[in-house]
Chains A and B, each alone.
Chain A
Amino acid sequence: MSLEYTSSEMMTVTAARALENGTTCFVGIGLPSEAANLARLTHAPDVVLIYESGTLQTKPDVLPLSIGDGELAETALTTVAVPEMFRYWLQGGKIDVGFLGTAQIDRYCNLNTTLIGDYRAPKVRLPGGGGAPEIATNAGEVFITLKHSKRAFVDKVDFVTTLGFGRDGKGRDNVPNIGKGPSRVITDLCVMKPDPDTKELVVVSLHPGVTREDVKDATGWDIRFAEQLENTSEPSEKELTILRELKARTERAHAGE
């Protein structure tokens, strides 16, 4: 008997499963934060979550609305200054995984959170880079999670805020002292990984009930599929229960202020 769940829940659970217990993870706000905390509350109790506000090894009871909610400092092992966070902990090589969201992503995993249109005359101004440009290059590897749509998955990003593998897939070649870059992209439809040689994103696993056509229709380029295409396993009852409790607690906390 299968459980009832939404595609968003499928995405969060799949993203959470990507984090192994004991991993040191630099967490972006929003979907990555939701997934990372679900991991901590399920299979990865010893995952170390670090937010750019300086909160090191934090265990929030509710999801933060902002990157610097008091909850993060109150439940952290310690809170350091922001320059220390970026210089010692991130640039110093102490982070295994950077977990990011994005507004746009292209076939080589380049991320755009800066703007849509031309830089000097933008159609839509987005928030900007924040921590992402250095998280993506100074963490050991990078996981990316976002909803799948043609608006988000574009052939070429309008602006490379944050390096995936560059506009030609070779952006990390021969650059010393940086991480290996994006290793998986988790959406509400599928899981993708970069081709080991070309670095172009390839679908490696389809979520239950999702077809190749669904993914093609939501992707702005001719997306490739792995020869050994897998089926993502469904969320378990335990994962769904813990995720829903976390979101309910969060909603109550944010409504009450």
Chain B
Amino acid sequence: MAEFLSLHDAVARYVQDGATVAMEGFTHLIPFAAGHEVIRQKKRDLTLIRMTPDIIYDQLIGAGCAKKVIFSWGGNPGVGSLHRLRDAVEKGWPHKVEILEHSHAAMACAFEAGAAGLPLAVLRGYVGSELPSVNDQIKFIECPFTGERLAAVPSVRPDVSIVHAQRADRQGNVLVEGIVGVQKEAILAAKHSIVTVEEIVDDLKAHPNACVIPGWAISAIAVAEKGALPSYTHGYYGRSNRFYKEWDAIARDRDIFTQWLDANVYSAAHNDGHNPAGGQA
């Protein structure tokens, strides 16, 4: 049964140095508040898994939390580069970060296979792509029934997955609405999971086929109001496209980034330290 913890305590308990961590949310519901808490607690040597590293991993990489990043599209959506990711890969700042690169289809299948308890995912993928030449985790197998050559990738089995959702009820059951990404798969694939929510309610008021994750399948729930900003929470607040654009200039320069981190993450105190303005200070 999910335990209700403060975000500080949830991260302190479940995110260990050296852990494999998936913070998911496909553009929507990105768990920024939790990411900032991981930075504040100075977690190190993390293997960070995310289909789209987005600004959240740009921040974690720049803050020195990452040893390795496993991803499939590493840009600032609609804006351009993730400059902290690039600086780490191209120049080794603040230290060298190893990358392992997939396609979206393969990562989505790998999360699903992890949730299904399988060791691998099989897909009709990577045909003619040179990604298999730089990622030794992409193999090809022959279908035993048809002989077709198919791609195989290992399933994703994180030590801990962290996602954000609209709300939980008092039993810890969680409702995810809108673009659901690989949220459910990430939770079910992981040994432990933390779900941050906008609010706790008496009744989820979920439709019969809604994406509901039972409380007994989740390790910890923490309330983090506006916990996805500058990403968004469908039904609660919109995406701060403005901040995504502003991030380009902040992340481009090591000093400006460091100052931003000091002012908006390390020094931020209220609401478990997450600056709900998305760091527009």
Contacts and interface: CB of A to CB of B under 8 A. Distances in A.
A122 B179 contact: no
A74 to B, nearest CB: 8
Given A68-B26, A133-B125, A171-B128, A79 B182 contact: no
Interface in B91-150: 101-106, 108-109, 111-112, 123-131, 134, 148
B27 A86 contact: no
Interface stretch (A156-164, A192-200, A209-217): A156-164
B109 A133 contact: no
Interface stretch (A38-46, A49-57, A225-233): A49-57
A151 interface: no
| A interface secondary structure, majority | loop
A90 B108 CA distance: 13
Interface in B216-246: 232, 234, 238-242, 244
Given A129-B131, A132-B103, A65 B78 contact: yes
| Interface size class of chain B, counting residues whose CB lies under 8 Å from the partner chain | 35 or more
B70 to A, nearest CB: 11
Contacts of A124: 90
Interface in B61-91: 71-75, 77-79, 81-82, 85-86, 89-90
A219 interface: no
B37 interface: no
A127 B105 contact: no
A66 B104 contact: no
Contacts of A30: 78
B180 A69 contact: no
A128 interface: yes
A81 B128 contact: no
A177 B124 contact: yes
A220 interface: no
A94 B137 CA distance: 28
B187 interface: no
A178 interface: yes
Contacts of B130: 159-161
Contacts of A60: none
Contact of A130 (B72, B81, B125, B239): B72
B40 interface: no
A20 interface: no
Given A55-B179, A82-B181, A127 B28 contact: no
Nearest to A68: B27
Interface of B: 26-28, 51-52, 71-75, 77-79, 81-82, 85-86, 89-90, 101-106, 108-109, 111-112, 123-131, 134, 148, 178-182, 184-185, 211, 232, 234, 238-242, 244
6 contacts: A82-B108, A87-B123, A114-B101, A125-B85, A130-B104, A133-B126
